[in-house]
A and B are shown apart, each in its own frame.
Chain A
Amino acid sequence: MGWTRKVLRVDLTKGTCKSEPLNMQWAQEYLGQRGLATKYFVEEVDPKVDPLAPANKLIMATGPLTGTMASTGGRYSVITKGALTGAIACSNSGGYFGAEMKFAGWDMVIFEGKSPKPVYLSIQDDNAELRDAAHLWGKTVWQTEEIIKKTHQDTQIRVASIGRAGENGVMYACVVNDLHRAAGRSGVGTVMGSKNLKAVAIRGTKGAGGIRDGKAFMQATVAAKKVLADNAVTGQGLPTYGTQVLMNVINEMGALPTRNHRDVQFEDARKISGEAMHEKRPTDGKAQLVTNAACFGCTIACGRISKMDEGHFSVVNKPEYWGASGGLEYEAAWALGAANGVGDLEALQYANLICNEDGYDPITFGATVGAAMELYDLGILTKEQIGMEAPFGSAQALVKLSEMTAKGEGFGKELGLGSARLCAKYGKPELSMGVKKQEFPAYDSRGIQGMGLAYATSNRGACHLRGYTVASEVLGIPVKTDPLVTEGKADLVKAFQDATSVFDSAGVCVFTTFAWTMADLQPQLDAACEGGWSMEKLTLLGERVWNMERLFNNAAGFTAKDDDLPPRLKTEPAKTGPAKGKVNGIDVMRPEYYKARGWDDKGVPTKETLSRLGL
């Protein structure tokens, strides 16, 4: 439906909800979702703001293709200053919540201030009101959604909420929608919790409309869906095996971070892989994987729906975890598994369920457990401090620690800090495996060099979804590049970062880029939106969004020193695999990248660059 041209502004301090027109000049320059909401954010919020102060704002934003018949058009993003990182945060989620926001007639919701008491926002088309959430505070994500639907006597309401992690100040709390889809990274749920905002519940009945050229849009979306269906990756590979098919690939390449990046290959990788999820368990004769699943409007359907082994130690006598639920996806399986050396697939799915149920990021959590296990291995943390034995590989410790983190109990409170703050507290800051206080995802940059640069320069801290050069360096999409060299990676990273900024601003899933190029997205956007959305305009948009985020981070106090990797990845060579003997070449790639970006040697965009981008 293109834009609805309406923004809902919610002042949590005053308890008011007001409609205002979307700034259409900005929409022409920043499109929607990530780009447009970040524009609103940087115009309205002091970069130096404490992320947990009332002066920080939080925006939930859709893109112009959200809620339309474009494939994967169900995305929305949460934009704020991240609690975990202190950098610009933009966490993207699928499911059905984003489309519902559009159906209710809103492009975005801006939350400002802090409510004096717990509240949730109820939206029914044009009507928006803050309602008391005292009865929801202390409830899990899953309980919250159930209670809200019963309260409103409407099973079709879509809910995005925080769990107990967001209430308890876990620094990497998520906003979870539709039970197991999440705006997962950087602590956007922590910011939501700091505002006493428990949930947003939306029912929209307006449907889709307002497409600029309906006939052209129909033709463009049908053609683009055919591209996805005909592509072997999006048509067969992802629906069948999901993202988890990568576990064995990345392990074979020697780029699977293991035991807090001490190793680059995990001996039990196969046990926690997508292939293992398909196999019947010897214990009950059933496979963990039940089916695949799609988000709103998605014709790929990469999502995993699984059932646990009811006899596994983590869920014995806990029937609430026996039903079909989301997971495992590759990132969660890696972080909860290889990062800690845990090879128990059922334990990983249990910890994943707890992350979904109480709303915290499994990547940062798993990596933080990995760091804690290394501190335990070094004798810096003791059994008494943690409350249990916690050696690498302990499924029992992983399971218990996930519960303690959700509830904010004992050592779980310390794990809730994330690895950067935890390792600094115990005098070993170098053992935190991340950038800008956000932990790495599932690719070791000694074996995939470009990802080191992508991590170091990601505007929201270490992240694979800001510039997924794995597509090129490992999978050959769009062209194969050598993962073990630094040459050419500056331009490659920039190209991925800018293109991803466009897809994240459009309302579609970045996984479409395994088949689509910008040339597949452009006709859909141009048919949906006024303004002549040419390839040139979109290309410039991506670079503009990236630089806008960079300017915010620079003003927040980040410098070139923050575009760096932990010493382990620069000084401790990979021990095995094709990258054996290699470290990451970030110090070679960084200046090349700054030059490619049109930034000075301190990582600041030059006047010429800003002028060219209209910033």
Chain B
Amino acid sequence: MKVTLKLYAMLSDYLPDAARKSNALELELDAGTTPAQLIAGQNLPLKLCHLVLVDGVFIPPATRATRPLVDGETLAIWPPIAGG
């Protein structure tokens, strides 16, 4: 299945150069891959994976290892940030 991974703020350093301009990377994953598996597979530091959204909806830490991603979904991740 195809899933789009978006990494922002300090996490964008973990994207290949070509993907940094869009903050987005399209990935081909095995069906049933969870956000936690994707995060581990990309070697992203867990403490920076704070705000995790799938198609804009927050995924709580407790379900990141159990909620499978679906073909066409977008997983977007931010480190701890805020604004106003």
Q: Which residues of A contact B (CB under 8 A)?
A: 231-234, 236-238, 240-246, 248-249, 252-254, 270, 274-275, 279, 330-331, 464-465, 468, 470-471, 474-477, 480, 482-483, 510-511, 514, 577-578
On whether the beta carbons of A241 and B84 are closer than 8 Å, the reply is: no
User: Residue on B with the closest CB to A237?
Assistant: B81
Q: Are B80 and A237 in contact (CB under 8 A)?
A: yes
Is the Cβ of B80 less than 8 Å from the Cβ of A245?
Answer: no
Determine the chain A residues whose CB is within 8 A of the CB of B12 once the complex forms.
275
The listed residue (A245, A270, A464, A480) touching B78 by CB distance below 8 A is A245
Could you jot down 20 A-B contacts, CB within 8 Å?
A233-B81, A233-B82, A237-B82, A238-B83, A241-B9, A245-B8, A245-B78, A245-B82, A245-B83, A246-B81, A249-B51, A249-B78, A252-B53, A330-B83, A470-B84, A476-B51, A511-B82, A514-B82, A578-B56, A578-B57
A566 vs chain B, min Cβ distance (A) = 23
A238 CA / B80 CA spacing, docked (Å): 9
Q: A562 → chain B, closest Cβ, in Å?
A: 24
Closest CB in chain B relative to A348 CB, distance in Å? 16
Q: When the two chains form their complex, are residues A249 and B79 in contact, meaning their CB atoms are under 8 A apart?
A: no
Contact between A232 and B50 (Cβ–Cβ < 8 Å)?
yes
Binding site for A on B (CB under 8 A): 6, 8-10, 12, 21-23, 47, 50-51, 53, 55-58, 60, 74, 76, 78-84
B57 partner residues in chain A, CB cutoff 8 A: 578
- Given A275-B8, A275-B9, A275-B23, A252-B76 contact (CB < 8 Å): yes
Q: Which residue of B lies closest to A302 (CB)?
A: B83
A232-B50, A270-B23, A577-B56 known; A468 vs B10 contact (CB < 8 Å)? no
For the complex, what is the distance from the CA of A292 to the CA of B23, rounded to whole Å? 22
Residue of A nearest to B80 (CB): A232
Chain B contacts of A275 at CB under 8 A? Answer: 8-9, 12, 23
CB distance from A103 to the nearest CB of B (A): 27
Q: Are A237 and B79 in contact (CB under 8 A)?
A: yes
Q: Contacts A245-B8, A245-B81 given; 11 further ones with Cβ under 8 A?
A: A233-B80, A240-B9, A241-B9, A241-B10, A243-B84, A248-B6, A249-B8, A252-B53, A474-B51, A483-B58, A578-B57
A476 to B47, CA, bound (A): 15
Q: Which of B8, B23, B82 contacts A238, CB < 8 Å?
A: B82
User: How far apart sit A468 and B84, CA to CA, in the bound complex (Å)?
Assistant: 8
Interface centre among B21, B47, B80 (most CB of A within 10 A): B80
Q: A232-B80, A243-B83, A477-B82 are in contact. Are A237 and B9 (CB under 8 A)?
A: yes
Determine whether the beta carbon of B84 is less than 8 Å from that of A331.
yes
Select which of B8, B51, B55, B74 is within 8 A of A475 by beta carbon: B51
**Which 6 pairs, one residue from A and one from B, show the smallest C-beta to C-beta distance?**
A243-B83, A232-B80, A246-B83, A237-B81, A578-B56, A245-B81
Q: Is the CB of B84 within 8 A of A236?
A: no
Q: Which residue of A lies closest to B48 (CB)?
A: A232
* A253-B56, A476-B51 known; A248-B82 Cβ under 8 A: no
Chain B residue at smallest Cβ distance from A242: B83
**Chain B residues, Cβ within 8 Å of A248:** 6, 8, 23, 76
Q: How far is the CB of B63 from chain A (nearest CB, A)?
A: 12
A254 touches B82 (CB 8 A): no
CA distance A67 to B80 in the complex (A): 29
Q: Whole-angstrom distance between the alpha carbons of A233 and B79 in the complex?
A: 8
- On chain B, the residues within 8 Å of A245 by CB distance are 8-9, 78, 81-83
A577's nearest neighbour on chain B, judged by CB, is B56
Q: For residue B58, which residue of chain A has the nearest CB? A: A480
Complex Cα gap A368–B62 (Å) = 43
Shortest C-beta distance, A476 to chain B (Å), equals 7
Q: Bound state CA distance, A511 and B74, in angstroms?
A: 30
**From B6, B81, B83, residue with most partner A Cβ within 10 Å:** B83
**How far apart are the CA atoms of A577 and B56 in the complex, in Å?**
7
C-alpha gap A236/B23 in the complex (Å): 20
Q: Which residues of B contact A471 (CB under 8 A)?
A: 82
Residues of A within 8 A of B82 (CB): 233-234, 237-238, 243, 245-246, 471, 475, 477, 511, 514
The chain B residue sitting closest to A483, CB to CB, is B58
Residue of B nearest to A232 (CB): B80
Task: Give bound CA distance, A232 to B12, whole Å.
Answer: 17
Q: Find out whether the CB atom of B84 lies under 8 angstroms from the CB atom of A480.
A: no
Q: In the complex where A253-B53, A279-B21 touch, is A244 in contact with B83 (Cβ < 8 A)?
A: yes
